[in-house]
A and B are shown apart, each in its own frame.
Chain A
């Protein structure tokens, strides 16, 4: 890409194409579809955290006059399919809320009534609710045959540790030997939930003739098709999945929970089935983000150069092995630092909690929180400004990462400089206030994206993409297509195609959509332009390279003649048939996005109450396609991270039962809890994207944990090491000190 591209549409703040429907209530989400003769499915969930299932008697539920079908694990056609034990439990209930059985009935209320008639014979077992409990000698085992992967020596007995991993570069021992100052701390973060406002829901119809349909809210409908077809032993061609509008996901809507069950119920009943989780089911049975216990040790010389960084990371996976984001947690922990000697060891541990799901930059907030807290304490110990300390050690182009590649051009230094120049950093604090700064790194991904641009006979177009639009991405697809086609933005309407309209597309996750699907859109648009040129050339009897496409018009450069898109499309049937452009790509070269945040927090020393008084989020977007939605990603990530830092946590009782499965006591930030969130968009272009785009969706949730952690620590004069920093924890820290 060229250094200084001139854009007509990119960088503008257009009105999103789906906006009108969303402000008027017309947009259809997962729960909004009703079909004729539709019945309602509900799930029976385990009242225990850990229990053997000795028997399930569904006969009374089946005899209920309004019940059409009942399903248990025994009804699953392919019981070897991945993740199937989380869809409906078989021999063991592994967490409070684990799906045990399901019913489809005439009404939702009747289905609930029938669930109460299902008799499950449980043998209650001792729950394992923390990393310590899980790794203790003689701990109850969740899975009798779970052997730890990744150990130097093959284990001889099962345990609750699913895997161990290790990465290093340089010589960690030598690095610490060089250090003048070493800070080592252990941190804890709680189980959290993505907290999307729309509960999981779907409406499905099984069709014996191979026209089955699922309408659901998902980040990836191709993945829903793949998983559901696998579980039901169906061919993918016989299942159409339509992605409804999606009411938030943040990683929590990448998997399937209801869809296969609903399709089994539909198959058994012969009726369309609708399922919708209640909010408490969302908290109990979906998500959550992993709880962690992370030890970090960092050493530096007096001059501020970091000599060694070491981490030991323990991630709860939930009830099933390998579900924690341990890998990315380990890979990201020290990436913001160009330090020769780094070492990380990590463990994935099963506990009797819901199976972990991805949550925005999965794994990175937890590990980078620990690292950034230690960096800030070390800066304090050395008497160096935390921005200067980071600038001195910052990762930049050419930095060797611990996990493999060397970094290409990245924007960490630029973000740090923007933080230093920010109004917030220059503003003095008052009594009981503290300021925290932290950096965050996330890789971002590319992968398969499929796009078709269908031109209409009047010269307008439809952009059919396979990436569910979770936060306004249709606006950026429209803008990129318009830029490439040099046509008005509103002449190109983006839609999310179903699984029968496009080849496979990877889900909306990993901050990939604007980058990867954007590249596919650009490729599809270029394909359209080349066809426009061919058609115009044929009309003028010249070669396509003698045609220039400019401002939405084909120009004959070797003679007279201009043809608009509308004219070319109107004549298409006479020049070779209708026109559509294709962009089916596997996008390579996703650019990492660094973020730097500043938090100012006031603490009431008598109660431990925290108030975020000011916040600035700075992040490298490569190139902001639609700046408003880029800022929105920074702000939304900040808010989720602030909630994670201050008040959000799953609270379990001594029996391992979740005590706060609702928004009343799972405390996400409210409008009245937050200040305006200032943003700075840094643009260090990603050389692998035609416009320089980097994904921006995830990095913003990483820095808030340590930014808030440090702000609170500074306000009370105690280094806090556990999240959330709820008022009781802060007050206790203050009281313990005095």
Chain B
């Protein structure tokens, strides 16, 4: 059986010390909606470091520069913030899609990121928004782009002793907005079979001047797809441009067949989602 040593430090340094000095496997507990399931059937001792009592981990501050998001803020609180929703509607939608109402009460954007599932809903939305991860550890602080944070299935760039302390999301330029869509077989409660986060910037006559397109659940990590963004930039997001972006996303995807979908299905549907998300983002950007 899993045997747990539970600690709830009240400072980042306290958490780092616990994580760095542990002689057993360590796990960071925020909402626990993935962690507690993953501990079932494990036959070893685990140090569980609950970070919810650390100041800042549960807060979100929106300023002219952007959003400083405490990684452990429950999604239910995050998605209730109308000020954040007004600036990053797609990211908030992505956070809202994780799990049930019950799971929303516990899960967090940072937890979704650190769990590093290929199908995480918030990761494509964070990448589309150019979000950065602030990581602190025994060696000091470093900042990593979200697209570089996840390195494989349930793997990320954090070393022993390191803790994700902040997610920094830059303030979008004028006439910029985002959208996130995912495909699931039911209306709720499923893991994404494919996902797409798109951010677009439009000029005054509706021409797309900048874009970021990220796709999820179609490779071992979420992917930033510059080719899909390029297909949008310089266009008025007409049907041809949207189809070109969709095709680029399908081409960039490297999915597998599993209990949730087939290679063929995922490859096609991720393109459909990019197209639809780009349309929504453009409408929001004022196009």
Contacts and interface: CB of A to CB of B under 8 A. Distances in A.
B259 A726 contact: no
Interface stretch (B71-79, B187-195, B202-210): B187-195
Given A110-B1, A659-B258, A665-B260, A732 B186 contact: no
Interface string A109-124: 1101100100000000
Contact of A667 (B43, B185, B261): B185
Given A109-B1, A660-B259, A731-B265, A669 B185 contact: no
A53 interface: no
Main SS of the interface on chain B? loop
A693 B13 CA distance: 71
A484 B190 CA distance: 50
A727 interface: yes
Contacts of B191: 664-665
A477 to B, nearest CB: 36
A526 interface: no
Given A665-B190, A728-B264, 5 more contacts: A109-B1, A608-B265, A660-B259, A665-B259, A728-B265
Nearest to B246: A606
Contacts of B185: 609, 647, 667, 726-727
Given A607-B272, A659-B259, A670 B1 contact: no
Interface in A108-161: 109-110, 112-113, 116
Most buried by A among B183, B185, B262, B268: B185
A673 B43 contact: no
A116 B190 contact: no
A664 B183 contact: no
Given A670-B186, A673-B186, A673-B187, A607 B258 contact: no
A605 to B, nearest CB: 10
B188 A672 contact: yes
A607 B186 contact: no
A112 B1 contact: yes
Interface in B231-265: 258-262, 264-265
B41 interface: yes
Interface string B33-66: 0000000010100000000000000000000000
A606 B250 CA distance: 14
A382 interface: no
B269 interface: yes
Given A112-B1, A670-B189, A607 B183 contact: yes
B183 A667 contact: no
B149 to A, nearest CB: 25
Interface of A: 109-110, 112-113, 116, 606-609, 647, 651, 659-660, 663-665, 667, 669-670, 672-673, 726-728, 731-732, 735
Contacts of B260: 665
A112 B268 CA distance: 43
14 contacts: A607-B269, A608-B265, A609-B183, A609-B185, A647-B185, A651-B259, A665-B191, A667-B185, A667-B190, A670-B187, A672-B186, A727-B193, A728-B264, A735-B268
Nearest to A606: B272
Given A667-B190, A670-B189, A726-B185, A113 B1 contact: yes
Given A728-B265, A732-B265, A670 B259 contact: no
A207 B275 CA distance: 68
Contact of B264 (A665, A672, A732): A732
B187 A672 contact: yes
B1 A731 contact: no
Most buried by B among A664, A665, A728: A728
Contacts of A664: 189-191
Most buried by A among B43, B191, B193, B265: B265
Contacts of A116: 43
B257 to A, nearest CB: 9
A672 B185 CA distance: 12
Contacts of B265: 608, 727-728, 731-732
Contacts of A673: 186-188
A728 B261 contact: yes
Given A116-B43, A728-B262, A667 B186 contact: yes
Given A607-B269, A659-B258, A665-B259, A647 B186 contact: yes
Nearest to A671: B188
Contacts of A663: 189
| Minimum-distance CB pairs A-B, first 4 | A109-B1, A728-B265, A651-B259, A672-B187
A665 B265 CA distance: 17
Contacts of B41: 112
Nearest to B272: A606
Interface in B70-99: none
Contacts of A731: 265, 268-269
Contacts of A660: 259
A731 B267 CA distance: 12
A551 B249 CA distance: 76
Contacts of A647: 185-186
A667 B1 CA distance: 29
A525 to B, nearest CB: 45
A672 B183 CA distance: 15
Nearest to B1: A109
Nearest to B189: A670
Contacts of A732: 262, 264-265
A244 B258 CA distance: 39
A55 B257 CA distance: 36
A207 to B, nearest CB: 30
Nearest to B261: A728
Contacts of B189: 663-664, 667, 670
Contacts of B2: 109
Nearest to A116: B43
A728 B43 CA distance: 37
Interface in B130-187: 183, 185-187
A735 B272 CA distance: 14
B43 to A, nearest CB: 6
A71 B200 CA distance: 64
B282 to A, nearest CB: 18
B55 to A, nearest CB: 34
A587 to B, nearest CB: 40
B10 to A, nearest CB: 29
A163 to B, nearest CB: 32
A226 B285 CA distance: 70
A187 B252 CA distance: 36
A726 B265 CA distance: 11
A651 B257 CA distance: 12
A727 B183 contact: yes
Nearest to A660: B259
Contacts of B43: 113, 116
Given A112-B1, A664-B191, A669 B269 contact: no
A500 to B, nearest CB: 38
A419 B139 CA distance: 72
Given A109-B1, A728-B265, A670 B272 contact: no
A113 B1 CA distance: 5
A702 B187 CA distance: 24
Nearest to A726: B185
A731 B259 CA distance: 16
A735 B259 CA distance: 21
Contacts of A110: 1
A112 B39 CA distance: 13
Most buried by A among B186, B193, B262: B186
Most buried by B among A112, A606, A660, A673: A606
Interface string B1-30: 110000000000000000000000000000
Contacts of B261: 727-728
A673 B262 CA distance: 22
B219 to A, nearest CB: 18
A116 B42 CA distance: 10
Contacts of A606: 269, 272
